[in-house]
Amino acid sequence: MIVLRSPKGWTGPKEVDGQKVEGTWRSHQVPMGEMQSPEHLKILESWMKSYRPEELFDNSGALVKELQSLAPKGNRRMGANPHANGGLLRRDLRMPDFRTYAVSVEKPGVVVAEATRVAGELLRDVMRLNMESKNFRVFGPDETQSNRLGALFEVTDRTWLADTLPDDLQLSPNGRVMEILSEHCCEGWLEGYLLTGRHGLFNSYEAFIHIVDSMFNQHAKWLKTTTKEIPWRAPIASLNYLLSSHVWRQDHNGFSHQDPGFIDLASNKKADIIRIYLPPDANTLLSVTDHCLRSRNFINIIVAGKQPALQYLDMDDAIKHCTAGVGIWEWASNDKGGEPDVVMACAGDVPTLETLAAVHLLRRMVPELKIRVINVVDLMTLQPAEEHPHGLSAKDFDALFTKDKPIIFAYHGYPWLIHRLTYRRTNHNNLHVRGYKEEGTTTTPFDMVVRNDMDRFHLVMDVFSRVPKIGYHAAYAKQGMRDKLIEHKEYITTYGDDLPEIREWRWTDL
């Protein structure tokens, strides 16, 4: 290695108008302006001539042959060197069959599992199958265990090159889990790893992935440029984020750990590059994770909770649902054979739970009400097909969401993103979105959704406010929902936990 230490602004003007430039902050700005000044023109001329251009170029302006011959040839050229074009070195991951990790779901909304713990078993075996090829790593800011990915440590350790103490566990120079409490380091490590032709996944608390916003931006811009404008660059493995410990389940960490806004940032980038997935349960998370690890030249963002939660789809249905990206959950709907009175849509695990609980209440309270339940896994399906490769056509969107019926949409993040993605849709005027609106604290899981008006009781009231057919039911029903919210507040104040009917809720036959 050769290390060159030089003054800031070296070879430029040392001084302009009596102020020092070389070696100071001024050299990093515009060293001098006002080029109409004769004095400044003289400084510029002297500066340019200091490079002795007559020795570098011939009379026609071409680089002299002696210097041309110094340029590397063939694979020694920077752009042609395989180490600068990592896709040429890329080897596919050896992947297990993700279906074998499926949670058994005989009836929707009854079985409880931890989605990321299940996904952790899949990642463990991806790691196991690629240990010999040294082709896969998992990165994270000291949160692998916290995000329920601890199964990885059954086959590998954390990478550790320093001294160890007797109490240290799972530290080794050969470990393939890269942990350091710096999201910047993890992002840089992973980007470099991908650019050398290998594969990886970055897991993080959702709120703190914002720390790498600028680095994410630059990688997205680089991918956009290289995939569209530089055809000789071979595809690299996708940059995969798994965001857990998310906004809705920060029961003990509180407001500082509650922020779903990384999705908003990502949605600003080119549609050719960005994919955003909100799997509602473990089996959909398995399907999405397998898809993302196999993909190339994308940035994949997966948001999935780590806490015990209800499971809705068996593996066959999960695969079909994830492949489509959006779909009607027939088992929760009762509008088949006709038009719905209201569409209840959801994206994200907690919004899905609250939507289903609201639908359950509505179908008991007003059995004649026709309800269509739509779950969105791939957020980009909401965009028009002209804007995103995964976007639904206008015809398909209208068939799902209708052209004129009320849509109550419970969403994982900030509500206005859903409006932004759908503003050109036929039925946008009837779209009402509930989501996170920057109301949070250290509180119970259900109180978090209540504080942001995304709970089942608010969703029921939204339906009563927007469906004329309900008529005389509305006043009494709304009052009943308000009473339940008061009961909830009194209960958590007294017991510090959610009502048993909330904690123990399950989907039952209607």
Pairwise pLDDT comparison (204 vs 74), residue with the higher score: 204
Q: Which residues pair with 328 in a beta bridge?
A: 374
- The backbone region for 203, taken as left when phi is positive above 0, alpha when psi lies in -120 to 50, beta otherwise, is beta
Question: Taking the model in full, what pTM does it have?
Answer: 0.91
Instruction: Give residue 420's pLDDT.
Output: 96
Give the DSSP H or E segment for 369: none
E strands, 77-211, are 112-114, 136-140, 158-159, 171-172, 177-179, 199-205
Q: What confidence tens digit (pLDDT) does each residue in 1-33 have?
A: 999 999 999 999 999 999 999 999 999 888 888
- pLDDT of 79 above 90: no
For 386-492, strand residue ranges (E) read: 407-411, 431-434
> How many C-beta neighbours within 10 Å does residue 290 have?
21
Task: Extract the tokens encoding 135.
Answer: 């082709």
Residue 472: DSSP 8-state: T
For CA atoms 321, 323, 324, 326, the dihedral sign is positive
Instruction: Note the pLDDT of residue 450.
Output: 98
Instruction: Report the number of secondary-structure helices (H) and strands (E) in the chain.
Output: 16, 17
CB atoms within 10 A of CB 126: 24
Which of 376, 386, 383 has the alpha carbon at shortest distance from 413?
376
Residue 19 has what pLDDT?
Answer: 93
Mean pLDDT of all residues belonging to the chain: 95
If phi > 0 it is left, if psi is from -120 to 50 it is alpha, else beta; for residue 297 that is left
pLDDT at 269: 94
pLDDT the model gives residue 227 = 86
Tell me how far the alpha carbon of residue 115 is from its chain's centroid. Answer: 16
Q: What is the pLDDT of residues 31-44, one digit of tens each?
A: 888 889 999 999 99
Which residues sit opposite 299 in a β-bridge?
Answer: 239, 274
Position 77 scores a pLDDT of 83
Q: Which regions of 25-104 does DSSP assign to beta strands (E)?
A: none
Q: Which amino acid is at 325?
A: G
Distance CA 350, CA 278 (A): 10
Transcribe 9-31 into DSSP letters: TTTS-SEETTEE-TTSGGGGS-S
pLDDT at 456 exceeding the cut of 80: yes
Give the β-pairing of 112-114 and 308-310.
antiparallel
The per-residue pLDDT for 80 is: 80
Condensed to tens digits (0 to 9), the pLDDT of residues 359-411 reads 999 999 999 999 999 999 999 999 999 999 999 999 999 999 999 999 999 99
pLDDT of residue 350: 98
Q: Half-sphere exposure (CA, 13 Å, Cβ side) for 115?
A: 31
Going by C-alpha positions, the residue among 152, 280, 404 that lies closest to residue 288 is 280
Contact predicate 83/109, CB 8 Å: no
Distance CA 240, CA 302 (A): 8
Residue 127's identity, in one-letter code, is M
Characterise 23 by phi-psi region: left (phi > 0), alpha (psi -120 to 50), beta (else).
Answer: left
Q: Which helix (H) or strand (E) holds 7?
A: none
Q: Which two three-digit tokens encode residue 322?
A: 């994830």
Q: Over pLDDT 70: what percentage of the chain?
A: 100
- Is 14 within 8 Å of 20 (Cβ atoms)? yes
Residue with tokens 């009837």: 430
| DSSP secondary structure, 187-207, as one string | HHHHHHHHHTT-EEEEEEEGG
What is residue 474's predicted lDDT score, i.e. its pLDDT?
80
One-letter amino acid for residue 437 of the chain: K
| 187 CB-near residues (< 8 Å, 6+ apart) | 139, 202, 212, 215, 216
Q: Are 300 and 292 contacting, i.e. CB atoms less than 8 angstroms apart?
A: yes
8-state DSSP, 63: B
Structural domains in the chain, sorted by start: 1-46 (no CATH), 89-309 (3.40.50.970), 325-503 (3.40.50.920)
Asked if 358 and 303 touch (Cβ cutoff 8 Å), the reply is no
Average pLDDT in the 204-213 region? 96
CA distances from 491 to 223, 460, 484 (A): 51, 21, 10
pLDDT in tens, 270-315: 998 999 999 999 999 999 999 999 999 999 999 999 999 999 999 9
Q: Which amino acid is at 49?
A: K
CA dist 501 and 61 (Å) reads 82
Q: Which residue has the higher pLDDT, 344 or 75?
A: 344
352 pLDDT higher than 80: yes
Does 167 or 128 have the greater pLDDT score? 128
pLDDT at 232: 87
Sign of CA dihedral 490, 494, 496, 497: negative
pLDDT in tens, 153-180: 999 999 999 999 988 889 999 999 999 9
pLDDT at 489 exceeding the cut of 90:
yes
81: confidence class by pLDDT, cuts 50, 70, 90: confident
pLDDT of 251 strictly over 90: no
Helix (H) or strand (E) run with residue 301 in it:
strand 299-303
SS3 for 166?
coil
